[in-house]
Amino acid sequence: MARRLTVLACALPLLAAAACGSSSGAGTAAAASGSAAASAGSGCSPASLKTQKAGTFTVATDKPAYEPWFSGDDPSNGKGFESAVAYAVAKQLGYDKGAVTWTTASFNSVIAPGPKNFDIDLNEVSINPARKKAVDFSSGYYDVAQTVIALKSSKIAGAKSLADLKGAKLGAQVGTTSYTAITDQIHPTKQPAVYDTNDLAKLALKNGQIDGLVVDLPTAFYITGAEIQDATIVGQLPVGASPEQFGIVLDLGSPLTACVTKAVDALRADGTLAALGKQYLAQAGAPELR
């Protein structure tokens, strides 16, 4: 589901206790980039970057800010995946935690055309061609994984590997990357069930007609946190060659886009993004199935 779903505009209180980690700007995992992070590139420093306010890096996200992307509805605490990523990007650009300030921006306002009151926004926004006509994106900072969810009573609720899913009756919405993930990655011995909508697929899961449902990870957090009380995330599937990606949003034609992209690329290359994903998303109940 190629968007930052309004699913996350609904409260996910059940996840509130899931995220944890250091209160430092990018969390303990960000230490992988070293105590003195390398510059994102020539001209990418507080002295040269044309930010909203000189010497300050203004980051936006929605309100409330939900787990596990943030923690305690407080983006400034450095906890939660996207908060940690924001501080890691800022560090790459030469901004310490004290130079980072947060502001609120609704999801719809972020992707709409027009000037922005922030330097960057992290709000689980998927990169797509239509949105690129209205805003700039960095390179992807998170590869959206397909995820298996099941009722807590299901025989696959405790699965630890793809092999554990071989004999399961799985389902997904027709024509989605979720269905492709079943056939191309899991290769179950039973024919997958196909549904016209995710609502029908969720109903089948609730009624026990399928053992597990495959959806993208943000949708999995929403379903298990707010829609189906007895459902649980079994785990994420390995990310494919061309995954949906979340990107940092900037004003269209922003002078910061190239530098922010360099920072994201550096964090991907040195393993920081992967480490933060493991720290916050896996601990929130979405381990990777291999």
Q: What is the pLDDT of residues 15-52, one digit of tens each?
A: 333 333 333 344 444 433 333 334 455 689 999 999 99
- Looking at the fold, whether 52 and 132 belong to one and the same domain comes out as yes
Domain count, the chain: 2
For residue 40, what pLDDT is reported?
A: 59
Report if residue 76 sits inside a domain.
yes
Burial of 150-179, coded b for 16+ CB within 10 Å and e otherwise, reads bbeebebbebeebebbeebbbbbbeebbbb
- Looking at the fold, whether 82 and 71 belong to one and the same domain comes out as yes
- pLDDT(5) > 80: no
- Looking at the fold, whether 131 and 29 belong to one and the same domain comes out as yes
- Looking at the fold, whether 13 and 127 belong to one and the same domain comes out as yes
Report if residue 66 sits inside a domain.
yes
Single-letter amino acid, residue 142: Y
pLDDT tens per residue across span 222-241: 999 999 999 999 999 999 77
For residue 42, what pLDDT is reported?
A: 64
Evaluate whether 146 touches 192 at the Cβ level (below 8 Å). Answer: no
| DSSP state letter for 13 | G
- Looking at the fold, whether 254 and 188 belong to one and the same domain comes out as no
- Looking at the fold, whether 124 and 202 belong to one and the same domain comes out as no
> Looking at the chain, how many residues does it have?
290
Report if residue 68 sits inside a domain.
yes
- Looking at the fold, whether 106 and 248 belong to one and the same domain comes out as yes
pLDDT tens per residue across span 106-163: 999 999 999 999 999 999 999 999 999 999 999 999 999 999 999 999 999 999 999 9
Report if residue 93 sits inside a domain.
yes
pLDDT tens per residue across span 192-221: 999 999 999 999 999 999 999 999 999 999
Sheet with 135-143, side-by-side order of all strands: 100-104, 57-61, 120-121, 245-251, 135-143
| CATH, residue 46 | 3.40.190.10
What's the domain range around 120?
6-144+244-282
Evaluate whether 179 touches 192 at the Cβ level (below 8 Å). Answer: yes
Supply the pTM of this predicted model.
0.80
- Looking at the fold, whether 271 and 136 belong to one and the same domain comes out as yes
